[in-house]
């Protein structure tokens, strides 16, 4: 969704001035317990107008999983961001509440607190509080389908006994905590706490030198080599070049054309899903998408912005070739010779053992605890019945 549509949504909600004014005004909380971080890892950034507290996070968790916040009661945030898939949905492209297929796959929400830019190809969308309005109220495509239902949302949170109790506790300084803005802020607060740094790789970096296999260690060397150049776009503590944190001096932002398409050898990507160019209108931005974090990549198949590559083996083969070749059909073309392709996608050769080593390293980035950590799990059972009560 482009920036004009986002602005229209926010304006319609009456929160654009509040939301936009807070962009760039950040603080962070030293010594708190909202994140469990290994030594040496930075804390996420938190907006000054949405500081965290335990009640707000718990409220956000409940809102995140509550299907009543959709046009037909079938969909919640968790529908497209399922914990077992590292908060993706396991589909090539997501499906909205009305059954509409989206053009892109759901990105993982794990460590999204560190993302300098949100979604696949929006250079201006940098704050979770603003991004959360898009699936809720956007109409192209319809996700949760809540456009025009702002009054129903307020009525629901005022009438539900648990929400009636939690909203004033979460937003104690607000004269009227029962608002759409409070809903958005609570969801963003919960999502901001979904942080993952307990993979075998993290344990190895932390000093457990026996936790990674020899294959994974060889794969790490390959990953960080100039020979295959993975680290250029997937570097740093979060394995992406679009990241920020509380101690960052320079914000990293990166979008790349990986040669996935080159329709009729023109460099073109499929209409309506062409990447950064859909936002900027600049020819040089054709096919440029954000490099997602590789943390938990083992859990987030299928891959690429449109879910068009099924396995990690196929992803590696794509980069080894230096771009994808589509032999026939409307997308026919050889991505290897795209005029817009990134300079880092040059192709390389790997034998079978090296490919297995690289995959072993990527698997070492999986934090298995993220898939069953109860503090990120649904508080409901089937039928929207409470599984546990608020504290």
The domain ranges of the chain are: 3-196+371-386, 200-369
189 close to 56: Cβ distance less than 8 angstroms: yes
Conformation bin of residue 324: beta by default, left when phi > 0, alpha when psi is -120 to 50: beta
The number of helix segments (H) and strand segments (E) in the chain equals 14, 8
Matching CATH topology for 3-196+371-386 and 200-369?
A: yes
Residue linked to tokens 């005029």:
339
Give me 71's structure tokens: 């046009």
126 close to 118: Cβ distance less than 8 angstroms: yes
DSSP-assigned letters across all residues of 234-265: S-TTTTSSSB--TT-SS----EE--SS--BTT
- The pLDDT of 85-92, averaged and rounded, is 98
Which architecture, in CATH terms, is 3-196+371-386?
Orthogonal Bundle (1.10)
Q: Tell whether the torsion through CA atoms of 297, 302, 306 and 309 is positive or negative.
A: positive
Q: How confident is the model at residue 250 (pLDDT cuts 50, 70, 90)?
A: confident
Residue 225 in this model has a pLDDT that exceeds 50: yes
pLDDT at 34 (0 to 100): 86
Cα 77 to Cα 143: distance, rounded to the nearest angstrom: 9
50 Cβ contact partners less than 8 Å away, ≥ 6 residues apart: 22, 129, 185, 188, 189
Scanning 264-366, the segments in alpha helix (DSSP H) are 277-280, 312-321, 352-363
**311-340 pLDDT per residue, tens:** 999 999 999 999 999 999 999 999 999 999
Q: How confident is the model at residue 36 (pLDDT cuts 50, 70, 90)?
A: confident
**376-388 pLDDT per residue, tens:** 999 997 544 444 4
Fold classification of 200-369 (topology level)? Cytochrome Bc1 Complex; Chain D, domain 2 (1.10.760)
């Amino acid at each position: 969704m482009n920036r004009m549509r986002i602005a229209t949504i926010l304006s319609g909600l009456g929160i654009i001035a509040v939301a936009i004014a807070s962009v760039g005004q950040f603080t962070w909380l030293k010594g708190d317990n909202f994140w469990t971080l290994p030594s040496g890892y930075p804390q996420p950034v938190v907006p000054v107008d949405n500081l965290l507290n335990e009640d707000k996070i718990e409220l956000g968790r409940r809102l995140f999983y509550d299907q009543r916040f959709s046009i037909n009661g079938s969909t919640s945030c968790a529908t497209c961001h399922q914990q077992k898939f590292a908060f993706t949905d396991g589909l090539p492209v997501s499906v909205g509440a009305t059954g509409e297929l989206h053009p892109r796959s759901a990105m993982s929400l794990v460590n999204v607190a560190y993302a300098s830019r949100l979604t696949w190809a929006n250079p201006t969308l940098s704050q979770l509080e603003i991004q959360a309005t898009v699936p809720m109220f956007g109409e192209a495509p319809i996700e949760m389908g809540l456009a025009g239902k702002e009054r129903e949302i307020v009525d629901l949170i005022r009438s539900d006994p648990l929400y009636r109790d939690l909203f004033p506790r979460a937003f104690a300084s607000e004269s009227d905590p029962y608002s759409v803005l409070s809903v958005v802020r609570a969801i963003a607060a919960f999502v901001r706490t979904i942080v993952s740094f307990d993979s075998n790789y993290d344990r190895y970096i932390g000093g457990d030198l026996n936790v990674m296999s020899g294959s994974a260690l060889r794969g790490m060397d390959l990953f960080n080599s100039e020979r295959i150049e993975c680290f250029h776009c997937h570097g740093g503590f979060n394995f992406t070049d679009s990241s920020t944190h509380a101690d960052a001096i320079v914000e990293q932002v990166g979008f790349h054309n990986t040669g996935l398409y080159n329709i009729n050898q023109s460099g073109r990507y499929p209409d309506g899903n062409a990447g950064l160019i859909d936002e900027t209108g600049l020819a040089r931005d054709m096919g440029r998408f954000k490099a997602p974090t590789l943390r938990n990549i083992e859990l987030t198949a299928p891959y690429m912005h449109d879910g068009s590559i099924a396995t990690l083996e196929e992803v590696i083969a794509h980069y080894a070739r230096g771009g994808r070749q589509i032999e026939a059909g409307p997308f026919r073309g050889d991505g290897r010779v795209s005029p817009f392709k990134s300079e880092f996608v040059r192709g390389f050769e790997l034998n079978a053992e090296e490919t297995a080593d690289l995959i072993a390293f990527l698997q070492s980035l999986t934090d298995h605890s993220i898939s069953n950590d109860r503090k990120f799990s649904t508080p409901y059972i089937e039928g929207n019945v409470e599984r546990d009560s608020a504290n």
